[in-house]
Amino acid sequence: MGTTRTPRGKWIEEGLRALVAGGPEAVRIEVLAQALGVTKGGFYGHFRNRGALLTEMLDTWEYEVTESLIEQVEDGGGDARTKLARLFDTISTDGGPARGAAADVALRDWARRDPEVAERLRRVDNRHMDYLRSLFSSFCPDEDEVELRCFIAISVRIGNHFNAADHVGRSRAEVMELVRRRLLE
């Protein structure tokens, strides 16, 4: 009977979990192998080195938060407001190791120290803005209003994870619903 190899995707998922837990320094082959319950030798059947894993982790994250997410929203059909509502619902749930809010925070932190990651983050944020522009512009004729709504939507998505303020008489979910309704007006 042959040896079963740990799938490449499992290494990437575990790498993303490690990144979220401790930053890029925490993405270590030995630690990942231990978390997966395998030897580190299997790692080299999939990746040349740690740098190759980090690149594939970034590729996975970028695809999951852009093209895969957009495909998921578009596949549901509907008009632009329906798609925006679906997008807001989708990003408000934890979408696994690549799509979750914790991954977003970890990648943004990493980008502050790594110019290549910063460039990739800029590409992702620009893709998000372009997609939002395409949706908001279908019912907002004012270009300034479109840009404002796009910027607010992305800023709320990012800033929500850093804001610890209480909302007098309202829950965070209620305030997020108010934001959502305003953006979809």
CATH number of the structural domain spanning residue 114: 1.10.357
Q: Mean pLDDT, to the nearest integer, of 36-54? A: 92
Establish if 104 belongs to a structural domain. yes
Q: Mean pLDDT, to the nearest integer, of 3-10? A: 77
- The residues that bridge with 170 in the sheet, in sequence order, are 167
Establish if 95 belongs to a structural domain. yes
Give yes or no for residue 182 having a pLDDT over 90: yes
Give yes or no for residue 81 having a pLDDT over 70: yes
How far from 83 is each of 15, 86, 174, CA to CA, in Å?
Answer: 31, 5, 21
Residue-range definition of the domain harbouring residue 87: 57-183
Number of independent structural domains in the chain = 1
Q: Taking CA 86 as the corner, what is the angle to CA 80 and CA 91, rounded to the nearest 5 degrees?
A: 125
**Looking up tokens 């932190």, which residue turns up?**
109
Whole-prediction pTM: 0.89
Establish if 7 belongs to a structural domain. no
pLDDT at residue number 95 = 64
Establish if 173 belongs to a structural domain. yes
